[in-house]
Structure 1
Amino acid sequence: MSVLSEYYAALERLKANKPIILPKGSAINNDTVAMEAGRKRGSIKKSRHAALIEAIEQAAQATGQNVPSPAQRIEQAKTKTKAVKSDYEQLKEDYEKLLEKVNSLLLENFELKQKRI
């Protein structure tokens, strides 16, 4: 059996929700088709398997899975980046406040020990 026919067989199993290697209900995309065919993630390349990639995208759309366009992926990445930056800034601010509190407590502890001696 050729590699290409193994990929198509794996795609058909995923469309029928009867995978052999992956868990049932797995998303249909290039990586899952490759893994279901017994290959490594990322082994389906646009330069070699353009027709297969088109079939995978059609199958994903037919099963109700959204395959975002490159522009949509960029927007999603930008949104995610903004959210992560916002979370980072909040964590940084919280860290600074806690650091001030710890330093204040250390100073107070030091001063109390000095009075006791």
Structure 2
Amino acid sequence: MSVLNDYYAALERLKANKPEVLPKGSAINNDTVAMEAGRKRGSIKKSRHAALIEAIEQAAQAAGQNVLSPAQQIEQAKTKTKAVKSDYDQLKKDYEKLLEKCNALLLENFELKQKTHL
């Protein structure tokens, strides 16, 4: 059996959720197909296996797995970073307001204690 046939057989086993090497429910991607075929992670290269990679991506999408390109992953990370930064800025503003309230209450408490002790 050729290497390419091994990869396609491994892909079919993963699609059927009946892997022989990996645990059931493993994600369908280039690395898992390679490992299921008895090869090392990263052995499926775009330059040599373009059709196989396309088949893997289609199988992953059909299985409902989110397959994002590197550019999409970067864009998603940027969006997450912006959201986290926005949340952080809002929390910082809320913290400053609460700190002001706390200081005002401490001052008022101090002044009331001074009046009662006279």
With normalisation by structure 1, the TM-score equals 0.66
1:32 counterpart residue number: 32
Between the two proteins, what is the percent identity of the paired residues? 90
1:49 counterpart residue number: 49
2:19 counterpart residue number: 19
CA distance in structure 2 between the aligned counterparts of 1:48 and 1:81, rounded to whole angstroms: 35
Cα distance, 1:78 vs structure 2: 3.5
CA distance in structure 2 between the aligned counterparts of 1:70 and 1:21, rounded to whole angstroms: 28
With normalisation by structure 2, the TM-score equals 0.65
**Runs of 5+ unmatched residues, structure 2:** 85-118
Cα distance, 1:35 vs structure 2: 0.3
Cα distance, 1:42 vs structure 2: 0.2
Deviations 1:63-103 (A, max 9, x none): 111101332111234356676xxxxxxxxxxxxxxxxxxxx
2:63 counterpart residue number: 63
Task: Output the amino acid matched with 1:62.
Answer: A
The 5 A counterparts of 1:65-84 are: 65-78=65-78
**Runs of 5+ unmatched residues, structure 1:** 84-117
Aligned length: 85
